Structure formats: structure tokens, C-alpha cells
Amino acid sequence: MVTLDRFRETYLNECAELLADMEGRLVAINVQSADVGELNAIFRCAHSIKGGAGAFGFHKTIAFTHRLETLLDKLRDGRLPVTDEAVTALIKSVDVTTAILKAESQGEAIPEDFGADLAQELDKLCGTEGQVIANPGLVEKSEGERKRETYKINFAPHDNIFMTGNDPLLILRELGKLGDMHVALHDERLPQLPNLNYGQCYLSWTIELTTDKGEAAIGEAFEFVADECDLKIEKIEKAVQDDVPRQTMNRRASDAIDANLAVTSIRVDLEKVDRLVNMVGELVITQAMLQVQTRHLSVEQFPELLRGVDELSQHMRELQEAVMSVRMQPVKSVFSRMPRIVRDIAHQLGKDIALVMTGEATEVDKTIIELLADPLTHMIRNAADHGIERPEVRLAAGKSAQGTVHLKASHQSGQIVIEVSDDGAGLSHEKILQKARQKGLIAADAALSVDQIEQLIFLPGFSTSDQVSNISGRGVGMDVVKKNIESIGGTIQVRSEFGKSTSMTIILPLTLAILDGMIVRVGAENYIIPITSIIETLRPKPGAVHAVPDGQDVLNVRGEFIPIVYLHAVFGVANAVHDPAQALVVLVEAGSHKLGVVVDELLGQQQVVIKSLEANADPVAGISGATILGDGKVSLILDIGGVNGILDREDANHLLREAS
């Protein structure tokens, strides 16, 4: 038996997209010169949500979105001016509509007064304050029977109307519900079959409609294609015949439209995609095992088998890339939330802030996008609150009254780089050091580099804010940002110039499912180092490794002294090489820091499937996951940012020990 559950889920997903689109457009509106096309698009969002809600009995959603429609309708046709007050109310309406939809879809009770203040504000803006609408869907019927009138409608869709996702047949069906309809099809532009382009519309219609619903209801049927067709609606004088058959439609029109429809995309549950990714992951492991098993076979004896294994390896990589591309989504879904945050903070704090976004089309794994939302929100709030100054302060400093926050995404070296920068007050290194000393986070006489000072802002409980607000200042946020970024294998770095600017850069893997790694041996254990983190590999010359006064070993690489870490010491591995002159050093990059990882041997490069450890074990510092190698053994994957964090904590502990 077919139920509405599947269709309701589709409707709710579409509502989420429509509400996000609506919010983004509202935040971007310039009240001084509002674009009518944008207002029409926002109206269509509200109209679509209201229209679908009726099918599932979401009456409160219908009632509330009807108010949005009313206000938006008056704004778009100029009956009301576009004001900041109206835009702010509409933005708030996105939140209320989201909450009502969620409650009604889950069968939860909604308080009678929920959203009442905002509803009253919308009515006041519309000039309908005090009017009670019990069921907006039945408004026309409650006004009494209207006079039946006849309209002539010339409807000529543009050639590309199918590419916009619109279907003329559905529009004709909606018109048929309004009254008695006669349709004449015009197919003069229809080419011979060999020249037919299935994605192009060649047809047009002349419609004669007798209805008591009025011209506004007819126009509403064409709301979604107003910019995709040539349309003319005119009233004609005609004697009304009550026995005229309802919805008389030319069969050729229906058939011709159906022949031109094309589906270019489908919706797939994320659970199905995840299952497909897991299956491909298992195939990658099996393929790696086959390669190991055939590694020692003679090419002369088994040419066909070895060629087949090589071809399988190539096809597996192509399959893996194809499947992973299905999970890739533009970061726009996260970026689109940020203009609202900046706008709200600017209004609350009396600041003038412009948000500039670039690279919204940059694609990344959906899992990473979901985990990126909270850290990015914290960073944007910090930039708007702590970074950008008030207009009078900026003017006194010789800056423009309006501050700018720049949010940028890009792909670099197989990773995604997201930068949040602002032209605000910057970080005061002196103030950061003073606060850190007051809180006992560093020794009183500690001498830190610029990088180390800027990293102090990520310590738990650290804040340079002089007062606590409901936005920030409690010392909660940036430590969570760093923790969340590192939990998905990323790093974060800070660059700031006091009085001028601050830039925070997040570097993340493109996916959390599969990576290219270098297999290294330490004692009897194998570890995986992500290829994207590796700079170079070298064997230190005698005397190249030096011990600095705090006990940390550093490696002299072409005049640059780089701290090194011994994996056997970090993870307690026995029978490993201790002398770096007899071992190998893998130079890696963790954000803006370089680090030398001492290992016994390089075993080769391999594509590995990442398996999470969280389900069966507590998190381990310096480890991001595990994988199964071709020989069937489990190998741990290094988290380079985490390994660097271990080194930083040892430095911090040393400073505290010196202070005590």
C-alpha cells in the first residue's frame, strides 16, 4: 500500500531548501533598491511551502505562511515599501516556519501563542492587524460567491522551460480546477522528428476559462513560470453555459508535453549512498589484498592474471572517485547560513558589516560539511564581534565605517582550505600574553614566538574580551573550534596584524572515507601518514639533530631547525630504531607548523579505507583512525595535527615546570 510518508519526507526536504533560499535572499536584499525579481523568488518560496502543507494537514504552517504571502505580495507589487523592519520580520519568519514545520511533521503539540508576536508584527506591517483568518485556504469561499466570468489566456512557454523544472501540463491542470476550460493547442513550431530536441518546448496554448475565482487566482497558477513564458490574460464577454464540460483538454497537448519531459536528477537517501561508499571501501581493501598476494608472481608465468590485477586496481580507483563524487556537495549549504549571523550581530551591536563570500561552489564530502557548520559559525561570530569595530571607532582609526568579513573556500593540494578574514582590530599579542599569564596558562617569564602566542586563543577558557555578552566573552568557543577541526583530520592557523586584520585558515581533507597514505614501520608496527601532509623524506646526516635547552630535539634542514618527534616514544613501541642517524625522518606539515616524524622504514604508498575507532575505543591523541592493509593486518592512521598537539603540550608543560 502506498503511504504519504515518502512524499512527506520529500516535501520536508524541499521546504528546508526553500527556507534556506528564502533566508539567503532576504539577508542579501538592499532595502534602498530592492529587486522585484528577488521579491518574486522569495514569494514563490513561501507559496510553495504553503501549497504543499495542505496535502499533509499542516494547518498551522498554512496559516503562518499565508501571512508571509500577504506581506510579500504587497512588497513585490509596490503597495508597501521595502523597509528594514519588514525584511527583519520576514527573516524571523524563516525561524518560526521552520519550528512549526518540524513540530507538525513530528506530531508535536504547538503552543497556541507560539509565534504570536511575530504574526502580529506581520499583520501590522500588512495593515491587516486584528483580522482573524482561521483557515487561509478557505478565504475565498468565505467571501461569498463571485460572479462567473470568462477569460482568454495566451500561454507561450519559452524554449527552455523544461530545463527550469517546470511542466506546462501541470499548469493547465491547475487552471482546470478553477472552472470550465477549453484548450486550443498551437503546434506550428513543432519540427520533424529527426530535428526534435526533447529538452525544448515548441508548443503554446490559447485557453478559454470560465471561473468565479477572479483574475488573481489565474495569475497565481502561472506564478512559477512568470519569467519563463509569454503570457496574456484578458477578460472577455461571453454567455455562461452551466452544462459546459469541466476541464475539456486537447489530448494532443497532454501527449506532446509528456514527450518533452526529461528527468535530469534524482533524490537518494544519504543512508543508501553511505552503504555504497562502505561497499566500495571493502572492495578497495580486497583489491589491496589481491595485489599483495600476487606481488611475488612471475610476469612470464602469469601475465594475464597480473594484467587483470593491475586493471582492477585502476578501475577500483575510478569507481572510488565516482562514488565519492556522489557524496560531494558545495560548501554553499554551510556558507548560506553565515549572512544571517553577520546581519543579526551587526544589528545587535550597532555595527556596519559586509560579508563577502567566494568559492561557495567548492565541493567537499557531505560528512565534513555537517561537521564544519559549528566551527565556522564560531569563527564568523568572533570576526563580527571581536574583530570588526563600531563605525565611530573605525572612522577614528582612519578606516571606512563599514567593516568587511571575507569567507573563502578553495581546493589546494587535494585538501579544502577555508579562510575567515576581517579588516578589524586584529589581535594584540601583548594583551594575549597578559591574559594567559593571569590565568596561569603559561609561565610568567615565558618567551613565546608569534605563532605560539596566536595559538593561545585556542586554549580552554581563554578570552581577551573585557566584558561578557550574550554573543561571546566567556572563553568558550575557540577551543571547541580547534577540537572539532582536529577531530575531522584538519588543522587551523591564525595570522593577525594588530589594528588592521585577522585571518583564520582551516585546512581539511576532502573526505573522511578514503585517503592516499604512506605506510611506515616503527618497530614491528605499521602506521599510515596521509600523503597530503608529507613534505619530504630524508635520512639525517650525523650531527644534523640537536637537543635544545628544553630537551626537545630539532633537525637542521637547509638552515631551518624543525622539531622532531619519535613515534616509538609517543606510542610506546618496542624494538624500534632510537638513533635518528640510522632512521628516517618524514617531514610533515600541520597547519603552519613543520614537524619531523622519526620512523624505521618506508614500506610504500597505498590508498587506504579509513575505519573509525570511536565505536570500539576511546579517542587516542595523534590517531585519526585505522585501516586494514593488504596483508590483513590493522594499521593506525596518524593525525598529524594531533601529533603536533602532543609536541605543543610537552612544550607548554615544560614552560609550566620552569615557572614552578
Q: Any idea what the CATH number is for the domain that residue 634 is in? A: 2.40.50.180
Same domain, 56 and 203: no
- The tally of domains found in the chain comes to 5
Amino acid in position 180? D
- 186: closest CA among 231, 227, 226, 156? 156
Same domain, 105 and 204: no
Q: How confident is the model at residue 146 (pLDDT cuts 50, 70, 90)?
A: low
| Residue 436: predicted pLDDT | 83
- Return contacts of 135-142, CB within 8 angstroms, 24+ apart: 135/59, 135/62, 135/63, 136/50, 136/62, 136/63, 136/66, 137/54, 137/62, 140/213, 140/214, 140/217
In a domain, 466, yes or no: yes
Query: What's the rounded mean pLDDT across residues 22-34?
Result: 88
Q: Any idea what the CATH number is for the domain that residue 123 is in? A: 1.20.120.160
Q: How confident is the model at residue 156 (pLDDT cuts 50, 70, 90)?
A: very high
Residue with cell 515548441: 202
Distance in angstroms (rounded) separating the CA atoms of residues 36 and 39: 5
Residues 474, 479, 484, 490: is their CA dihedral positive or negative? positive
Task: State the number of CA atoms in the 13 A half-sphere of 280 facing the CB.
Answer: 23
Show which of 260, 285, 304 is a domain's final residue.
260
Tell me the Ramachandran region of residue 598: left when phi exceeds 0, alpha when psi lies from -120 to 50, beta otherwise: beta
Show which of 142, 165, 200 is a domain's final residue.
142
Same domain, 241 and 121: no
Instruction: Quick: pLDDT tens for 104-131.
Output: 988 888 888 888 899 899 988 988 665 5
In a domain, 652, yes or no: no
Task: State the number of CA atoms in the 13 A half-sphere of 618 facing the CB.
Answer: 1
In a domain, 647, yes or no: no
Same domain, 177 and 256: yes
* Number of Cβ within a 10 Å radius of residue 346: 20
Q: Any idea what the CATH number is for the domain that residue 465 is in? A: 3.30.565.10
Same domain, 26 and 116: yes
Find residue 377's DSSP bridge partners. Answer: none
Strand positions, DSSP E, 281-351: 328-330
Same domain, 505 and 367: yes
* Number of Cβ within a 10 Å radius of residue 31: 13
Helix (H, G, I), strand (E, B) or coil at 157: strand
Task: State the number of CA atoms in the 13 A half-sphere of 293 facing the CB.
Answer: 9
Same domain, 564 and 588: yes
Same domain, 108 and 240: no
**Domain membership of residue 496 as a residue range:** 331-509
In a domain, 660, yes or no: no
In a domain, 173, yes or no: yes
Q: Identify whether the C-beta of residue 174 lies closer than 8 Å to the C-beta of residue 221.
A: yes
Distance in angstroms (rounded) separating the CA atoms of residues 548 and 133: 78
Q: How confident is the model at residue 625 (pLDDT cuts 50, 70, 90)?
A: confident
In a domain, 366, yes or no: yes
Same domain, 29 and 59: yes
Angle at Cα 142 formed by Cα 102 and Cα 126, nearest 5°? Answer: 60
Instruction: Quick: pLDDT tens for 509-532.
Output: 877 777 888 999 999 899 999 888
Same domain, 356 and 446: yes
Angle at Cα 423 formed by Cα 417 and Cα 426, nearest 5°? Answer: 90
In a domain, 657, yes or no: no
Show which of 117, 142, 167 is a domain's final residue.
142
In a domain, 654, yes or no: no
Answer whether residue 418 shows pLDDT above 70: yes
| Residue 240: predicted pLDDT | 42
Same domain, 546 and 630: yes
Same domain, 494 and 559: no
